[in-house]
Amino acid sequence: MASSLLEAVDIKAPTAVSWALWEDVERWPTFLSHVKHVQSIDAKTFAWQLSLPGADKSFVAELTEVVPQERIAWRTTEGVHHAGVVTFHRLSDTESRVTLQIEYDPQGFVEHLGALTNLDSALANYDLGEFQRRAERAAGARGAQE
C-alpha cells in the first residue's frame, strides 16, 4: 500500500535563497535529519544513505525534473521505492513557501507504523523547520552583505 506526505513551510527568505540551499543535493544531509550521506554518481543520479528509526536504508535516485527556482523532482531507481518533488513559491520579495511531496511504499513494521501514526509527517515537518532556519540565516547574511 503506497503512502504519501505533503508538507509546506513559509520562509522569511526570497525564493532564490531557498532554491540555492536546496538545489545542491549533496547538502541535503545538513537539513534532512534522516539523510546521512548523498554521493553524486553523475549529474542526475545520486546514492543515498538514510538512518530511520529502526532501520538504515540505501538507494539510488535520479533527478527527473529540475526547473530553477520552481521545482526539483526525483525518483528512485534502486533500493527503497519512492518519488518526490520540492516546489518553491514566491510569496513576496522577501518570503517564499517550500512544499515537499513524497510518495513511497512502506516496507516492514517500522515504516508501516510510521505511515499509520504520521511519524513520517512529523519527521518531514522537523526537517522543513531546519531548512527554514538555514534559509532565513542565509537570507539574513545575504541582506547584511548588500
Q: Which H or E run includes 138?
A: helix 119-145
Residue range 99-113, pLDDT digits in tens: 999 887 756 544 544
Give the list of residues 6+ apart from residue 30 with CB closer than 8 angstroms, or none: 134
Locate cell 543515498: which residue? 48
Per-residue pLDDT, averaged over 38-48, amounts to 92
Residue range 107-138, pLDDT digits in tens: 654 454 444 445 667 777 788 899 999 999 99
pLDDT at residue 144, rounded to an integer: 52
pLDDT at residue 17, rounded to an integer: 94
pLDDT, mean over the chain: 84
Nine cell digits for residue 109? 513494521
Q: What's the first-to-final CA gap in the chain, in angstroms?
A: 50
Taking the C-alpha atoms of residue 2 and residue 103, their distance in angstroms, rounded to an integer, is 7
What pTM was estimated for this model as a whole? Answer: 0.82
Does the pLDDT of residue 24 top 90, yes or no? no
Per-residue pLDDT, averaged over 65-88, amounts to 92
Parallel, antiparallel, or unpaired: how do β-strands 35-40 and 45-52 relate? Answer: antiparallel
Tell me how far CA of residue 105 lies from CA of 1, 72, 83, 102, in angstroms. 6, 20, 10, 10
